[in-house]
Structures are given as C-alpha cells and as structure tokens.
Amino acid sequence: MPDQLRLLLGEDVIAQRVAELGQKIARDYRSSSQVLFVGVLNGAFIFLADIVRQLDFPHAIDFLRVASYGASTETTGAVQIRKDLEISASDRHLVIIEDIVDTGLTLSFLLGHLAGSRPRSIEVCTLLDKPSRRQVDLVPKYVGFTIPNEFVVGYGMDYNEKYRHLAGIHVCVPDPTEGIRVP
C-alpha cells in the first residue's frame, strides 16, 4: 500500500499567506540594519526563498541543518547540529525561518544555540505551527498556519526524502509496510 496523501493547504493559500508574512516582516525590519535570515534545512528552504522575495531591504541569508527526526514521523528529542551558520550572528537581528514548530524541542535548542552568538534580537517565523504538541513554552512571532496534530509533507517538507516537491501541504499517512523486507 503506498503512502496516503490528503491536501491540507493548497498552493494559492500558501502563496497568499507567505506574502502577508513577508509584508509583516518587511514592516518590522525595513529600518533595521544587519538582519540575518536563518533557514533551517532542509524543510524550510522553499519557505525561506518565498519569504525573502517579499522583502525590499538589504539582508543576509544563512542556513542551519539540524537532525531530530531521522526516518521517522516522530522526533527523537535529541537535536544535533549538522551544519552551523557561516555568517556571524553577533550584533545582528536574527529571524529563524522554520517549516514547522511541533514539540518546540528543536527550536528551543536552536534559540539557545544562537543566543550564544550575542545577536541583537532573535525572532521565529514558521510556516506551520502545532501548538497542541508543544513540550516547551515557545510562541513564534510570525505564524503562517496553525494546523492539527497530523504529519505533513510538501512545500519543502518530506517523509524519507519524498514529497518535498509538492506545491501544496499534504497530510501524509506513511505506508505501514515501508521498510519491511519480505524474503
């Protein structure tokens, strides 16, 4: 049985909301200097690209890569940095661009990690928020959509490196036999 996908948010709805978030961020940071957008790889790369295309002020972009899911639909809770920033965060306004905030454990870890670089400020912009799963006290400043407790793919987010290419966001119910080998 293949993975089951159901559309949750269509391409047009996402594009409209991303434009609104970009406008809010532009209003908040237009007069600021030294703004660094930090994309969390791999899931946020499309969202970050679409957000920064909405901005009309100078800014820098860098990426972090963390691991906490592996090949599962549930976080392990253990966060590892696989790629750190290459641009100094010191004395900059940081805007972390996340695909989804679920338990908040990964983001909480990143906020602590980045705070050690002594930025002027740190804010979070997430496309998707699942506050029902939150395990830490954390509220992103910019939220695209609040969604129910379902596993989602598309618009850069994946399941086992599949479905990142989908323009919309889909609920994914993975094939329960995937990974089982029959001799």
pLDDT digits (tens, 9 = 90+) for 128-177: 999 999 999 999 999 999 999 999 999 999 998 899 999 999 999 887 76
pLDDT for res 177: 66
pLDDT for res 1: 54
Indicate the domain borders of the chain: 11-150
- Of all residues in the chain, the percent with pLDDT exceeding 90 is 77
Nearest to 90 by CA among 119, 110, 122: 119
pLDDT digits (tens, 9 = 90+) for 20-31: 999 999 999 988
Q: State the fold for domain 11-150.
A: Rossmann fold (3.40.50)
* Residue 102 a catalytic site member: yes
- Of all residues in the chain, the percent with pLDDT exceeding 70 is 91
26 to 42, 123, 128: CA distances (angstroms): 24, 13, 20
Catalytic-labelled residue, pool 50, 99, 102, 129: 102
Q: 180 pLDDT exceeds 50? A: no
